Amino acid sequence: MDWWNLITTLVGAIIGAVVAGVISYIIARQSARETLALQKQERVDREKSKAHSLTVKMMRLTNSLAGFHSAIESSIREAERQIPDAPLWCKVRPVVGTEDTMLHLLPDELALFVAAREFDFMNRAIMLNDRYNSFVLGCRTYSAERTRLTDEFGAEMVGKFGTTHFTKEQYERVAPRVVVVDALANEIRSTLNELFAEAISLITKFTPIMRKYFGDQTFPELAILEPAKALASGQICPKAKA
């Protein structure tokens, strides 16, 4: 009888341990699933935060280019009514508003395109960002050199335009600087048109890439204005729409 009690006690203990183990396993498995789901959601939230940061930067970059484009082209159009035969540097006024326009796409933001296998887009975005920052520095250089050149001599002003009279010796002294400033003006204008076109191309691809990667069709879409409206307003992406 004592053996029977011992056996039943052991069997009961074993069954209890098995049941407890199964319950613990189920609970641990459920807890692990919840932890993994939470970690996945946290990763997605972090990536979406980076994607939203990229959205803002893409808007800023494209709107800045549209603003520069509008300012430079309107300056040229206005000058051509008064001095149509003048070199380009005489028509492009110093570019203002370049102090806080530098932008930097961060590695962890660009890593989204690696995860999305969008290597071509990533390379183009990096190149656009680098060329944009170089363009801004070029605008600063042009503005400083042009101002230094025009401040050296007086001018007879008619509205916004002035005429400066040089002696032969004076002109020969500034001629090399005039060539440099005019070359800068031409480079700024041609580069701006290229950057503007590339920015529009990338901005139209950005939202579809993000929506596909996140599987989320509600990811904000950048609203693109028509070119004529963009040039009139000085911006191409007025807002992000859901």
The domain ranges of the chain are: 48-241
pTM strictly above 0.95: no
Per-residue pLDDT of the chain (242 residues; tens, 9 = 90+): 465 565 666 666 677 666 666 777 677 677 667 666 666 777 778 888 899 999 889 888 888 888 888 889 888 988 888 888 888 988 898 888 777 778 899 998 999 999 999 999 999 999 999 999 999 999 999 999 988 888 777 666 666 666 666 667 777 777 888 899 999 999 999 999 899 889 888 988 998 999 999 998 888 887 666 655 655 555 555 555 55
DSSP string of the chain, one letter each residue: -HHHHHHHHHHHHHHHHHHHHHHHHHHHHHHHHHHHHHHHHHHHHHHHHHHHHHHHHHHHHHHHHHHHHHHHHHHHHHHHHH-TTS-HHHHSPPPP--TT------HHHHHHHHHTT-HHHHHHHHHHHHHHHHHHHHHHHHHHHHHHHHHTS--EEETTEEE----HHHHHHHHHHHHHHHHHHHHHHHHHHHHHHHHHHHHHHHHHHHHHHHT-TTSPEEP---HHHHHHHT-S---EE-
